[in-house]
Amino acid sequence: MRNPDDREIKELLASARTIAVVGLSDKPQRDSYRVAAYLKEQGYRIIPVNPTLKEAVLGERAYSDLSAVPVPVDIVNIFRRSEEVPGVVAAALAGNPPRAVWMQLGIVNEDAAAAAASRGVTVVMDRCIMVEHRRLFGNAR
């Protein structure tokens, strides 16, 4: 499955408002935290999704899984191992599907991507949402 082109990614990032970050850590030195903090600085609402988080992260209440998130999400950004992606995507598709599923650098799962794409959900794999945002927009949205 191909990743969207630059125009499609820029359009997605320009129109998205809410990003659920699955696997977000509360440790500032972790990539998931740094990426989420950057996205928040750019004006996105970040929804932390991680069953081990008991406190808010980046000023937002954390949820144990996607099914517990009470608001519509534009992008599900995944920081989990590739073999865990099908479960995350299934949860994302079970409710009100997001506009996009974004698998971070090093994360690829063709079956999960196909499942999301079959529901009309844009899929980005093996790319960092922060790197792509900076490349396409500079440091400001």
Residue 118 in any domain: the answer is yes
Tell me how far apart the alpha carbons of residues 22 and 30 are, in angstroms, rounded to a whole number. 13
Q: Residue 119 maps to which CATH number?
A: 3.40.50.720
- State residue 140's pLDDT score: 60
Domain count, the chain: 1
pLDDT digits (tens, 9 = 90+) for 80-96: 999 999 999 999 999 88
Residue 130 in any domain: the answer is yes
Q: What is the DSSP string of 108-133?
A: --HHHHHHHHHTT-EEE-S--HHHHH
Inter-residue contact 51 to 61 (CB < 8 Å): no
What residues pair up with 45 in beta bridges, in sequence order?
18
- pLDDT over 60 at 1, yes or no: yes
Tell me how far apart the alpha carbons of residues 107 and 66 are, in angstroms, rounded to a whole number. 18
Residue 25 in any domain: the answer is yes
Residue 111 in any domain: the answer is yes
For residue 20, give the H/E element and its range: strand 18-22
Residue 1 in any domain: the answer is no
Tell me how far apart the alpha carbons of residues 86 and 115 are, in angstroms, rounded to a whole number. 9
pLDDT digits (tens, 9 = 90+) for 124-133: 999 999 999 9
Tell me which residue of 109, 80, 74 sits closest to 92, measured CA to CA.
74
pLDDT digits (tens, 9 = 90+) for 5-37: 999 999 999 999 999 999 999 999 999 999 999
**Segments forming the whole domain that contains residue 69:** 6-137
